Structure 1
Amino acid sequence: MGGCIPESLEQLQALESPHLSRCGLNSSIPSQLRLCTNLTNLELDENNITGSLPASFAALSRISYFSIYDNGLTGSIPLCIFINWPDLTSLVMGENLFTGPIPSEIGQLTNLHKLDLSGNQLNGSLPSFIGNLSKLAYLKLDCNHLTRFLPPKIWNLEDIQFLSLNSNDFQGPLLPGPHSQDQKLLHISNSFYGKNPVYLDQNNKYPKVYSSNVLPHQICNKSERLQHCASMATSQVEMSHLKFRKLEILRLLDNQFSGSIPRNIGQVMPNLKWFDVSENRITGLIPNSIGEMVNLSSLELSGNKLMGPIPATLGNLINLQIANLSHNALSGEIPLSLRSCSKLKLLDLSKNQLSRNIPSWIGKSVKSLHILLLRSNMFRGAIPRGISHLYSLQVLDLAFNNLSGTIPAIFNNLTAMIMSKAPKHDTRDLEIFMSKAPKHDTRDLEIFIEGCVPFYFYRVNIFANGKMWQYKRISSPVTSTDFSSNNLSGRILEELTRLNNLLLLNLSHNHLSGKIPNMIHKMRGLEYLDLSNNMLSGEIPPSMPSMSFLKCLNLSFNNLSGPIPHSGQYDYI
């Protein structure tokens, strides 16, 4: 099929459920479709349909399922959808070019179970009437230009299972509930009158309540002005007692949320499987109650301003597969309790202030790791030999720490970095994945986690030649080892050359001595090799020009001697 949506569809007035997804349609929606008044389901996903939604769609009053995902529709979302479609249960309009605000009339769709408006150009604030959608289980508004505070009524959606608001400009408190243990003041910025309610006076969390529009001068500095206090107050008073027992996926990354993670989040959302609030402005401690989310598969808190230790209670998360706490200000050591997280596939603690030794139980107790990222901390001591038990390890990054001693003999068992046949690289789509990915429909969950959903795609930053390369999914797993910028000494082990599936090897800025291994040409898949700023001596092995995939080679600032090869791959580096 292909071309235009046939206008002759108007003759099929008994038509109820046309499925026209992935048909190569490349026209606008004909207004004659309004004559098919018996339509209940209409699917037009993944075509190239353009133009706007016709206002005549108001006549399709029996519609319950409408999906037009991944097309080129423009204009504002027509009000007829919200006013004339009372039976609508699923509305999927993601990945189009819709503009303007989300109409407040959305609150009239009281039978709605699923709402996906992601990947458009919608702006303005999220209407408070969305809290009227009491049956809503799936809400996805990613990748728009939505702003301001979340309406407090959104937390009335007690049936919500999937909530994703990624990549907008939302701000204000992260979640409902108490935000700190020492919170003693509740300010309600409104024009209330009368006495404070008895339950507030008796609640020791809020011993002092102000109902004025301005805090007394003895409480706040003259230069400070509080905004949106009413929303904050509502969250704390009216919603802290609610439990979102059905919520499994909560994604709020890449916004401007601030404040701290509620200390009781583990009790409020006990069944979360995926919790992602990365790339916000969240401060304070990681609450101990996260350890009560025993079903959690993915915990992503990176790119915030969290501080303090990693809670030992995270060791209770026996189903945890993804733990990304990078780019914060966490301190202390990696807690011993994490050795109970035997299903971990990715552990990213990079760019924090963690110290002491890298624990020896990594590899012995947690053997399923694919990615271990500990760069830019203050770890000291030796590289633990337990890493040799990480048979599935693809990316190992211990750069920019204070590690010392020699590089241990840990590489013979790292089978994911070893292959039997010559590699075939295609890095045009710089992406990485954790398991083989069959064809799938990513509209509903996008990222899949074993035990939650089937697969997981993860973004990994790899540093080579002074640049950061971001890898996501590719057809064969990316492999990388980076021990750069430490205090490692001794020679480079010949055993290291067995890693013939390694894409990147960076041992620069250490105190390594001796010769470059003669068998380094066996690392047939190597594209980036950096041995600079060490004390290596001798000649460059004559077999190195046969490393046909090598794109970047840095041997500077060593004590090497002899001729520089001028053949083979060296002519293109």
Structure 2
Amino acid sequence: MAASQKLYAALFHVLLLSLFPLKTKSSARTQAEALVQWRDTLSFSPPPLTSWSRSNLHNLCRWTAVSCNPTSGTVSRINLSSLNINGTLAGFNLTPFTDLTRFDIQNNSVSGTIPSDIGSLSKLNYLDLSANLFEGSIPVEISRLTELQYLSLYNNSLSGAIPFQLATLPKVRHLDLGANYLENPDWSKFSMPSLEYLSFSLNELTSEFPGFITNCRNLTFLDLSANGFTGQIPELLYTNLGKLETLSLSDNSFEGPLSPNISKLSNLKNLSLQNNLLSGQIPESIGSISGLQIVELFSNSFQGNIPSSIGQLKHLEKLDLRMNALNSTIPPELGLCTNLTYLALADNQLRGELPLSLSNLSKITDMGLSENYLSGKISPTLIANWTELTSLQVQNNLFSGNIPPEIGKLTRLQYLFLYNNNFSGSIPPEIGNLKELSNLDLSGNQLSGPLPPTLWDLTNLQILNLFSNKINGKIPPEVGNLKVLETLDLNTNQLHGQVPQTISNITSLTAINLFGNNFSGSIPSDLGKYMPSLEYASFSNNSFSGELPPELCSGLRLQNFTVNRNNFTGLYSYDFSYNELTGPLPTGDVFQNASARYFDGNPGLCGKAEGLSQCPTTDSSKSSKVNKKVLIGVVVPVCVLLVIATIFAVLLCFRKTEQLGEESKIVSNGESSKSDLLDPRLEAPTGQAAEEVVFVVRVALACTQTKPEARPTMHFVAQELSARTQPSLAEPLDSITISRLRNFQK
């Protein structure tokens, strides 16, 4: 009996062991079926998951984007990032994936809500749902993923408060909830000491600085930018977060000074505090953060000096201090930052000359010094070494002297803005070496001499502004070489001669301004014919003659066109088609010589021109009636003003009777005549005009009657004024007195 029991027990264990592989195969098959079922709810462009099929269930571990646990044979990783997936997670049964450690579907178009059963993935340590279209709130069930180390929900449309339950994730090192619509949680319930990377950027958070962050001592990356955080930056941030390499608090409402303790962030490489309300001086201690590569403090209210200690930052690549209230000179020590590629000091109150030490910045690509009070000459030795420059912007300063010929060495320049300074002399011909230049603005200076012939070699120019200088000479035919030019502005110079016909070859022009010169001759006859985008054209204040180009408006986008103060003989015809114009056509050859097709699309237009119906005629009585209506529109307001004036006059009469004396008595007795009341400098009205004047005065005086019932109504006044004729005068206007005019009866 005992032997048979042992035999049964052994057989049971063998059977049990034999079932384990069956269980594993069943689990893998369940996962495969779940994946195929989900795939059928998705759309792809193009379809990338051809291996996910019911005919291939047995090869699950060889499927695209799937990795398996070699021991169990079940799915351990799913990586579907950047596969142009459209769909939701609603059709994905997550519960069979008990061994899943990594789920990555970033950069797709997965929408809907994040399902709550995502909390069943108990072994998950990496979850990336970023750059999708998820909406709704963050499910609190994510807090069940106790093995999670990496969580990114960045760049979705998630909303609601950040669930405080996320603080129970003990192993999370990377947490990115940026670029959503998340709101304030109860920060006092948060404690995440294991965090190394934290981003809440671009949300709708509006509290003061979250206190729990200052206890995240392992943080190397912190980004709270583009929210509504307020208050001061806490001192504990500087003293506790010594491992920080990136600190971005930009685009908030942080205020107060920048603490000298910032130097305790000794590992900092990127500092971005722009677009806040920070004030005071930039602390000198910033120069002791030796590893700094990027410093962005622009658009605050910093005052005082640019710290000379910045010269100690040997690794500095980008320094952006623009849009503050810095009022020092540029420190020579800045020239020691030889790795600088981007320097922006624009829109401050900087003064003085450029230090020659800046010539050491041989790697500089962007130099922005505009909107300051910088002065002096731009030394040739200063810029000769800036051969990597792509943008040089020093506009709106007080620079003077010549533009140095060494400017021609900056062959990578795309933007050259020297406008609104006091540069003088001629434009150096070396400027023709700047073959990559797209925007050239030298306007608002004292430049003189002719346009250099090399200027027309800049075939990549899109904007050429040379206006408000003293440039003379002619525009050569080579201007037609500038095939991609969009704006040509040479106004207010001393240019003369004819505008070359080749200017019509610049088909990309949207604006051409030549006003305020001494151009003569005719405007090129086909100007505008091949310029579909032309919007602004000004040729005024020149000596142009002849006829205007008939094709000027062929592009149909012209909004502003001025040619005043020239000697044009005028247009022969003009195209007014499809503008919904109404009313009679004005007289003149330019209108009446136009072809009938030029008036198409204007059903309300009438007049003496081909294709138009005649305007309806009006008899003299109708015309007179219209004139009377116009008279009402003018006289009624005048009457009201006259009534007010009369009331003030009566009050003054009562208060100043002693001063007025005999004149007051004459008026009160009503014996004043026309000669006492009307301006003797004006010619006396006669005929109908005299009748209307008398009637208006009678009505106005009637409006001042002491008894309300004796005053005429406004309806009656309007009726009388609209009458075709007024009663004729029985006596000369000179002999009519005020007393007679007061005898008005309704």
TM-score band by shorter chain is 0.7 to 0.9
Deviation at 1:415, TM superposition (A): 2.6
Shift of 1:37: 1.4
Classify 1:165/1:406 alpha carbon distance in 2 versus 1 (closer, same or farther; 3 Å): same
8 Å Cα contact 2:415/2:440 also seen in 1: yes
1:142 — aligned with what? 225
Instruction: Give the 3-state SS of the residue equivalent to 2:198 in structure 1.
Output: strand
Q: Is the 8 A contact 1:10 1:35 kept in 2?
A: yes
Residues 101, 360 of structure 1: CA spacing in aligned structure 2 closer, same or farther, 3 A cutoff? farther
Q: Does 1:568 align with 2:588?
A: no
The secondary structure found in structure 2 opposite 1:125 is coil
Answer 1 or 2: which has greater strand percent. Answer: 1
Matched, 1:317 2:402: no
Is residue 227–residue 251 contact of structure 2 (8 Å, CA) maintained in 1? yes
Q: Which amino acid is the alignment partner of residue 249 of structure 2?
A: L
State the Cα distance separating 1:103 from its structure 2 match. 2.0
Q: Deviations over 1:151-181 (max 9, x none)?
A: 22111211000111111111111x221xxxx
Q: 2:441 aligns with which of 473, 482, 495?
A: 482
Please point out which of 166, 173, 183 is paired with 1:81: 166
Q: Aligned equivalents of 1:23 and 1:543: distance in 2?
A: 51
What does residue 481 of structure 2 align with?
522
**Equivalent-residue separation in structure 2 for 1:113 and 1:354 (angstroms):** 44
Equivalent of 1:31 in 116, 128, 131: 116
Secondary structure, in 3 states, of the residue corresponding to 1:381? strand
1:425 corresponds in structure 2 to none
The aligned amino acid for 1:485 is G
1:55 matched to 2:140? The reply is yes
Q: 5 Å matches for 1:216-295?
A: 239=261, 242-267=263-288, 269-295=289-315
In the TM superposition, 1:31-430 aligns within 5 A as 31-82=116-167, 84-100=168-184, 103-106=187-190, 108-155=191-238, 156-173=240-257, 175-177=258-260, 239=261, 242-267=263-288, 269-417=289-437
Query: Is 1:17 matched up with 2:89?
Result: no
Query: Does structure 1 retain, via aligned residues, the 8 Å contact 2:187–2:212?
Result: no
Could you list the per-position Cα deviations for residues 243-281 of structure 1 after superposition, in whole angstroms to 9, with x for gaps in the alignment? 3221000011111111110022101x1210000000011
| Residues 1:498 and 2:457 are matched in the alignment | yes
Is the deviation greater in 97-106 or in 133-142? 97-106
Percent of pairs with identical residues: 35
Residues 527-561 of structure 1: per-residue CA shift (max 9 Å, x gap): 11110111111111111111011111111111111
Letter of the structure 1 residue corresponding to residue 332 of structure 2: A
Task: State which structure, 1 or 2, has the greater radius of gyration over its C-alpha atoms.
Answer: 2
Q: 1:531 aligns with which of 490, 514, 517?
A: 490
Q: Secondary structure in 2 aligned to 1:380?
A: strand
Distance across 2 between alignment mates of 1:526 and 1:520: 10
Q: Secondary structure at the match of 2:87?
A: coil
> Match of 1:123, SS?
coil
SS at match of 1:361: helix
Report the Cα distance in structure 1 between the residues aligned to 2:516 and 2:183, rounded to whole angstroms: 55
Contact 1:102 1:126 in 2 (8 A): no
Once the two structures are superposed, residues 393-437 of structure 1 have per-residue CA deviations (whole angstroms, 9 ceiling, x without a partner) of: 1100000001111111112321323xxxxxxxxxxxxxxxxxxxx
Q: Distance in 1 between matches of 2:212 and 2:106?
A: 31
Distance (whole Å) between structure 1 residues aligned to residue 393 and residue 342 of structure 2: 12
- Does the 8 Å contact 1:378/1:401 carry over to 2? yes
Which residue matches 2:500? 541
Provide the alpha-carbon RMSD of the alignment: 1.4
Q: CA deviation at 1:102?
A: 7.2
Aligned partners of 1:381 and 1:403 also within 8 Å: yes
- For the 8 Å contact 1:127–1:151, the answer to whether it is kept is no
One-letter identity of the residue aligned with 2:237:
I
Structure 1 residue 510: deviation in Å? Answer: 0.4
How many residues align structurally? 446
Amino acid at match of 2:313: M
Query: Contact conserved, 1:44 with 1:68, CA < 8 A, in 2?
Result: yes
Counterpart-to-counterpart distance in 2, 1:273 and 1:102: 35
**Any conservation in 2 of the 1:253–1:279 contact (CA below 8 Å)?**
yes
Whether contact under 8 Å (2:198, 2:221) holds in the other structure is yes
In structure 1, how many angstroms separate the alpha carbons of the residues matched to 2:244 and 2:147? Answer: 25
Unaligned runs of 5+ in 1: 178-238, 418-478
**In the aligned structure 1, how far is the partner of 2:271 from the partner of 2:214?**
17
SS at match of 1:118: coil
Q: TM-score, normalised by structure 2?
A: 0.59
Compare the two structures and name the one with the higher helix fraction. Answer: 2
- TM-score normalised per structure 1: 0.76
Query: Using the alignment, how far apart are the partners of 1:16 and 1:133 within structure 2?
Result: 25
- 1:444-463 aligned at under 5 Å gives the runs none
Q: Report SS of the residue matched to 2:171.
A: coil
Q: Distance in 1 between matches of 2:153 and 2:237?
A: 25
Distance across 1 between alignment mates of 2:120 and 2:212:
31
Report the residue type matching 2:94 in the other structure: L
CA contact (8 A) 2:164 2:186 kept: no
Partner of 2:565: none
Aligned to 1:559: 518
Kindly indicate whether the alpha-carbon contact (under 8 Å) linking 1:7 and 1:32 is maintained by their aligned counterparts in 2.
no
Distance (Å, rounded) in 1 between the aligned partners of 2:221 and 2:354? 36
Give the partner amino acid of 1:376: N
Distance in 2, Cα, partners of 1:102 & 1:495: 66
Q: Is the 8 A contact 2:405 2:431 kept in 1?
A: no
Give the Cα–Cα distance (whole angstroms) in 2 for the partners of residues 162 and 301 of structure 1.
18
Contact 1:362 / 1:386 at 8 angstroms: preserved in 2?
Answer: no
Asked whether the equivalents of residues 129 and 153 of structure 1 are also in contact (C-alpha less than 8 Å), the reply is no
Instruction: Judge conservation of contact 1:482–1:506 (CA < 8 Å) in 2.
Output: yes
CA distance in 2, matches of 1:413, 1:540: 25
The 4+ residue runs of structure 1 with deviation greater than 6 A are none
Cα distance, 1:56 vs. partner?
2.0
Q: Could you say what secondary structure the match of 1:38 adopts?
A: coil
Q: Which is worse superposed, 404-413 or 303-312?
A: 404-413
1:323-342 residue CA offsets vs partner (Å, 9 max, x unmatched): 00000000011100011111
C-alpha spacing 1:503/1:345, structure 2 compared with 1 (3 Å): same
- How far has the Cα of 1:350 moved from its partner? 0.4
Matched residues in 2 for 1:340 and 1:243: separation?
29
Partners of 1:513 and 1:86 in 2: CA distance: 75
Unaligned runs of 5+ in 2: 1-84, 532-551, 559-746
Distance 2:225 2:95 in 1: 35
CA distance in structure 2 between the aligned counterparts of 1:105 and 1:252, rounded to whole angstroms: 27
1: distance between equivalents of 2:444 and 2:109?
53
